[in-house]
């Protein structure tokens, strides 16, 4: 697995589409979760997530710390989500046009919504670690590499985040987190 620095260097030096695609895949869920916190609309969240990566591609040369790319992407995402939210509040519906019907593929289940809500309440450093670890499926070592943090720090952040999530789940009768056979906490799928 390439580091953030290697991927960003490949993108900047030779406009490597594959490297950018890997970067998108690495951070897509983190960005999506950040946008969802603000918009709470599936289609708008999808649009802003895509827009975030388009903006990031254009401004990648401005990124000073490649290891902080996840935080940088979240900042772009939040700014775009707020802008989108403000614009949607000023838009007027057109007469005679009904919004598209929401289908099952475009909805977030109650369980997924509860998980997103719980994750959104975490401090940012824990939220980044949890999303990369449990939603993106990276190992702790990979999360450490992606965030530029020591493995021990990531382990503590994930552990604290899991405890916080378990506490939030206890407050809700249908919690999104369960215990696995080995005592590991994981996201239900």
Angle between helices 151-170 and 110-120 (to 10 degrees): 130
Q: Give the number of other CB atoms < 10 A from CB of residue 5.
A: 14
- Give residues with Cβ within 8 angstroms of 146, minimum separation 6: 3, 4, 26, 67, 70, 132, 138
Place of tokens 């987190």: 177
- Whether the per-residue pLDDT at 174 is higher than 70: the answer is no
pLDDT score, position 89: 60
pLDDT score, position 2: 83
Q: What is the value of pTM for the model shown?
A: 0.57
Q: Residues of the chain with pLDDT > 90: what percent?
A: 30
Band the pLDDT of 173: cuts 50, 70, 90.
Answer: low
């Amino acid at each position: 697995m390439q580091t953030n620095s290697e991927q960003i260097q490949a993108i900047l030096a030779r406009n490597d589409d594959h490297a950018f695609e890997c970067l998108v895949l690495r951070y897509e869920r983190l960005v999506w979760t950040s946008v969802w916190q603000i918009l709470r609309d599936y289609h708008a969240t999808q649009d802003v997530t895509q827009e975030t990566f388009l903006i990031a591609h254009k401004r990648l040369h401005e990124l000073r710390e490649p290891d902080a790319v996840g935080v940088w992407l979240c900042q772009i995402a939040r700014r775009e989500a707020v802008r989108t939210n403000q614009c949607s509040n000023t838009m007027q519906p057109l007469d005679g046009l009904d919004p598209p019907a929401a289908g099952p593929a475009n909805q977030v289940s109650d369980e997924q919504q509860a998980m997103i809500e719980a994750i959104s309440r975490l401090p940012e450093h824990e939220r980044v670690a949890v999303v990369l670890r449990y939603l993106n499926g990276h190992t702790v070592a990979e999360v450490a590499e992606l965030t530029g943090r020591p493995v021990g720090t990531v382990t503590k952040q994930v552990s604290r985040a899991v405890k916080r999530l378990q506490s939030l789940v206890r407050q809700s009768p249908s919690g999104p987190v369960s215990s696995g056979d080995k005592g590991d906490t994981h996201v239900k799928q």
